[in-house]
Amino acid sequence: METLSPERLQELLKASAARHRGHLCPRQVLGVRIGLAGMRALGFAEPPTKKRLLVIAETDGCFVDGLIVATGCTVGHRTLRIEDYGKVAATFVDVRTGRAVRVAPRVDVRQRAMAYGPEGERRRYFIMLHAYQVMPEDELLTVEEVRLRVPVEVIISRPKVRVNCTACGEEVINEREVYINGLPYCRACAWGAYYEPAADRGAQSTVRNPLAAALP
């Protein structure tokens, strides 16, 4: 049920815009609405305390500013993660019960929004900006119960654990290490990293894998 007051929404949108050089855009509105809908689906009227809520956003950018103000979840608190699918959607997890809901805009939200634009407005951007604020939740969003394929305990991990990578020696925290033949490695050494030393450019075209010898 819709329990959101227009005043509360405007307050949150203002807070989101403040994180965004004072500029409000349709994706922030979706972030706030999706954040509120996700919390409500899990039975939270307010952002819960004690890191009880985990939000997994499926893109970065403006949308996330809206999620942050609505839920109070942040990367810094380890209550917000980005799983970058390039999609404006998010999953909300009650860490205590493991219950999870995924909230996304309806696939036809842009067509539906046309009926909610301000009088006489023809510019799509401003129609969306307004419509996303006033559309009833079931016109705007889909809310789906989901099951995490990786247990929430594994996603969150135990933050006190730390080991050193067998290959590069760097410290790995939050149980993000990979074990090969019983030895801990960082993911960069085990699987190949998203970067490589600049000096290697041109000199070596294949990805270096220091574990090549150790792998079967």
**Segment interacting with Zn ion, rule: CB under 5 A, options 127-135, 157-165, 174-182, 197-205:** 157-165
Looking at the Cβ atoms of 32 and 189, the one nearer to Zn ion is 189
Residues 68 and 61: their CA atoms lie apart, in Å, by 11
Q: Rounded to the nearest 10 degrees, how much is the dihedral formed by the CA atoms of 113, 4, 57, 179? A: -150
**Segment interacting with Zn ion, rule: CB under 5 A, options 34-42, 93-101, 175-183, 189-197:** 189-197
**Segment interacting with Zn ion, rule: CB under 5 A, options 101-109, 138-146, 147-155, 184-192:** 184-192
- Enter the DSSP assignment of 88: S
Q: What are phi and psi of 28, to 5 degrees?
A: -65, -40
**What would the two tokens of residue 72 be?**
């109070």
The reply on whether position 57 binds Zn ion by CB under 5 A is no
Residues 144 and 5: their CA atoms lie apart, in Å, by 24
Q: How many residues bind Zn ion, per CB under 5 A?
A: 7
The reply on whether position 89 binds Zn ion by CB under 5 A is no
Quick one: which of 31, 165, 177, 184 contacts Zn ion (CB under 5 A)?
Answer: 165
Quick one: which of 12, 13, 17, 25 contacts Zn ion (CB under 5 A)?
Answer: 25
Position of tokens 């227009």?
A: 6
Quick one: which of 148, 156, 168, 193 contacts Zn ion (CB under 5 A)?
Answer: 168
Element (H, E) at 172: strand 171-173
The reply on whether position 189 binds Zn ion by CB under 5 A is yes
CA distances from 4 to 36, 46, 50 (A): 8, 11, 24
**Residues 95, 152 contacting (CB under 8 angstroms):** yes
The reply on whether position 131 binds Zn ion by CB under 5 A is no
The reply on whether position 62 binds Zn ion by CB under 5 A is yes
Least distance (Å) between residue 91 CB and Zn ion: 22
Binding site for Zn ion (CB under 5 A): 25, 62, 165, 167-168, 186, 189
